[in-house]
Amino acid sequence: MTRPTVFLDRDGTIIVERHYLSDPALVELEVGAAQGLKLLQDLGHPLVVVSNQSGIGRGKFTLDDAHTVNARVAELLAEQGVTIAGWYMCPHAPGTDCRCRKPLIGMPEQARAELGLSWDGCYVIGDKRIDVELGQAIGGTGLLVTTGHGLEDQAWALGQQIPVFDGLLSACQYIVDTIDRAQVSPR
């Protein structure tokens, strides 16, 4: 059985939020992030990072800086046995006319085309309302984590009956539990 794709925000979700992160030496995995991702990966869920990196468009750091940070995140995850299927970034500042800035669907569209992924039953996990809205825009389920900026959107999410979690590990466990329940429930 093909497992649903899980799209992930980077900053404040997989790694500790650092405002306009451009230095790979400052990359730090969120507590439990690698364990949660490993759980999903071991069950066959494709893992794809979709990240707004407006610092590029604002001139705070370069595209190469962002790629170097992504490489460091990938390295730290690999040390825990986790491989990300694809890395996608929107380098544009807010207000720029683009199709990729979350919650627009450009990054998941690109991932679907390049990686041959399905959106059926997919999830988007992130620490901002735009991540949840991206999940809804592609017909999936958005999950909010309260790491990073998540507490700022927690009341909104709860008011919309959107699942909220204390971190990536518990969000990943929710996905596993939800799918397992669906597989064993009578039809």
CB 6 within 8 A of CB 47: yes
Residue 52 lies in a domain: no
Mean pLDDT value across residues 32-37: 98
Could you tell me the two tokens for 146? 């309260």
Q: pLDDT grade, residue 1 (50/70/90)?
A: low
Q: Give the structural domain span for 145.
A: 6-19+28-43+99-117+125-184
pLDDT digits (tens, 9 = 90+) for 102-157: 999 999 999 999 999 999 999 999 999 999 999 999 999 999 999 999 999 999 99
**Euclidean distance between CA atoms 84 and 81, whole angstroms:** 10
Residue 65 lies in a domain: no
**Nearest one of 127, 181, 183 to 153, comparing CA atoms:** 127
Residue 79 lies in a domain: no
Catalytic residue among 11, 65, 131, 153: 11
Residue-level pLDDT at 76:
98
Residue 160 lies in a domain: yes
pLDDT digits (tens, 9 = 90+) for 82-102: 999 999 999 999 989 999 999
To the query of whether residue 23 is one of the catalytic residues in this protein, the response is no
The CATH number of the domain holding residue 112 is 3.40.50.1000
Task: Report the domain count for the chain.
Answer: 1
Q: Look up the pTM and report it.
A: 0.95
Residue-level pLDDT at 30:
98
Q: Which residue has tokens 């807010």?
A: 94
To the query of whether residue 9 is one of the catalytic residues in this protein, the response is yes
